[in-house]
Structure 1
Amino acid sequence: MSESLLSLRGVHTHIGAYHILHGVDLEVPAGQLTMLLGRNGAGKTTTLRTIMGLWQASRGQVLFDGQAITAAATPEIAQREIAYVPENMGIFADLTVAENLLLAARRARRLAELDTERLEWLFHLFPALKSFWLHPAGKLSGGQKQMLAIARAMIEPRRLLLIDEPSKGLAPAIIRNMIDALRELKRTQTTVLLVEQNFMVAKALGDSVAVMDDGRVVHRGAMAELAEDEALQQRLLGLSLGAHQ
């Protein structure tokens, strides 16, 4: 197992009167893609938002590269080369595809200053972005918007990507394209924590896995082992891979 780049230790999060995370312990190995799975309402999105500082942990520690970021503000966390792709994608509908990417590129102030080699790499992964470069992002299809959201997080090298349910609502062909793109990202040794409901996506991409239930991590291990154990899938997730092939 690789050394952890991100660690959560006994993390509790309250949202108003609601106690959502109940002592989350999580390790995200450096250079790997870790799946965060669980039924609806298990606390997966809250975990990502807590890591990103959008919601503050009420107890426990969030450590990035050995340093506490528990109380850090979101801009400070982002400056540590951590990027977040929310479930709602968060794109700017009135801006063009190009302008959306430029906003995410902290080292560039004009389109001409974007890293052309990295941009061509993104166009290879997501060809639609090149085709609709000067189109308003709000006019893209749902799948194209998701690709733009992921590309924004990848426009500069990041040490950690947090991605929330990227395949939700997408057609199978778009999901396959997204899997291929994330496999390419894995080859760069970027560390990824990926929340996903589609178990086939999890099996295709995951190195390690953590499963949440009721605001706690209840299982940790290799994704390949969970993918082969239908009884464990049924117990933890209420599904079996065999029924979804």
Structure 2
Amino acid sequence: MPEPILRLAGVHTHIGQYHILQGVDLAVPRGGLAVLLGRNGAGKTTTLRTIMGLWKASSGSIVFDGHDITKMATPDIARLGIAYVPESMAVFSDLTVRENLYLAARNGPLDEARVDWICRFFPALKKFWHYPAGNLSGGQKQMVAIARAIVEPRKLLLVDEPTKGLAPAIVQSLMAAFRELKDTSTSILLVEQNFNFVRTLGDTVGVMDDGHVVHTGAMAQLAGDEDLQQRLLGLSLDSHQ
């Protein structure tokens, strides 16, 4: 097995007086899609934000592509090739769709061929190309946020609840986009509640509970074992198709 592109070892994160992450161990396979599951409040979003340096790990280590990023500032982490799509989307509301993508193209003008590739999955972006992003629907803003993260090639995408608010047809387009990103050796760490979506896409899975990773393994193993689903998640993946 190749060395994972991202590895968390014994990561603790405190936010004020709250001890959120309590020794998280997690690996993201190089060129693969890792899924992070768990109940609300388990620590999934905190894990993504800690990787990105938005919240600092109290202890433990985070190593990305051979670099120890545990104490690095968020802009420096981004420059190494990590992009983050938060659940809140966080688009620039007063800027057009084009301007949102332009700001994310740090290495120069927009690559029109890559924009056309993105718009193949999200054709509404071209329709609203010159509209202020704040005027779009929640699902359309999610498209902008995801497009902004992939407007340039990245080594690793951290994506929090990408299907939230998206129509089923757009979810299918997003699934196709993630598959093609994997084919270009982009690694992905995905937090998601649409279990049918991740069951199809995921290579590996980690399940969190109360600030710990309580299970890691192949997604195919979890998807095929209803007893394991019930024990770890309190539900069956089949009930969320």
TM bracket, shorter-chain basis: over 0.9
Please name the residue that 2:94 is paired with. Answer: 94
Kindly state the Cα deviation for residue 171 of structure 1 after the two structures are TM-superposed: 2.7
Name the structure 1 match of 2:153: 157
| 1:148 pairs with 2:138 | no
Contact 2:194 2:240 in 1 (8 A): no
TM-score by length of 2: 0.97
Aligned to 2:118: 122
C-alpha distance in 1 between matches for 2:29 and 2:203: 9
3-state DSSP of counterpart to 1:189: coil
Code of the residue aligned with 1:192 in structure 2: it is I
Per-residue CA deviations over 1:30-89 (Å, capped at 9, x if unaligned) read 000000111110000000000000000001001011221000000000000100000000
Q: Deviations over 1:138-192 (max 9, x none)?
A: 1112111111101100000000000001112333232222222222222212000
Counterpart for residue 30 of structure 1: 30
The amino acid across from 1:40 in the alignment is N
Q: Indicate if the aligned counterparts of 2:196 and 2:238 stay in contact, CA closer than 8 A.
A: no
Does 1:174 pair with 2:170?
A: yes
Show the counterpart of 1:225: 221
> 2:41 corresponds to which residue?
41
Q: Between Structure 1 and Structure 2, how many residues are aligned?
A: 241
Distance between the aligned counterparts of 1:182 and 1:65, measured in 2? 20
Q: Which amino acid aligns with 1:80?
A: L
8 Å CA contact 1:34, 1:192 repeated in 2: yes
SS at match of 1:4: coil
- What letter is aligned with 2:143? M
Are the aligned partners of 2:36 and 2:208 in contact in 1 as well (CA < 8 Å)?
A: yes
Displacement, 1:116? Answer: 1.5
User: 1:9 and 1:62 mapped to 2: Cα distance?
Assistant: 7
Corresponding residue for residue 193 of structure 2 = 197
Q: Distance in 2 between matches of 1:202 and 1:167?
A: 10
**3-state SS of paired residue (1:72):** coil
Q: Does 1:134 align with 2:130?
A: yes
Alpha-carbon offset, residue 124 of structure 1: 1.1
Name the CA distance, whole Å, in 1 between partners of 2:28 and 2:239.
Answer: 29
Whole-angstrom CA distance in 2 between matches of 1:69 and 1:196: 24
SS at match of 2:173: helix
Is there any run of 5+ residues in structure 2 with no aligned partner, and where? none
Rounded Cα–Cα distance in structure 1 between residues aligned with 2:113 and 2:167:
29
Q: Is the 8 A contact 1:126 1:181 kept in 2?
A: no
Structure 1 unaligned residues grouped into runs of 5+? none
Q: Give TM-score scaled by structure 1 length.
A: 0.96
Q: What fraction of aligned residue pairs are identical, expressed as a percent?
A: 68
Partner Cα distance (1:25, 1:98) in 2: 38
| CA drift at 1:239 | 1.0
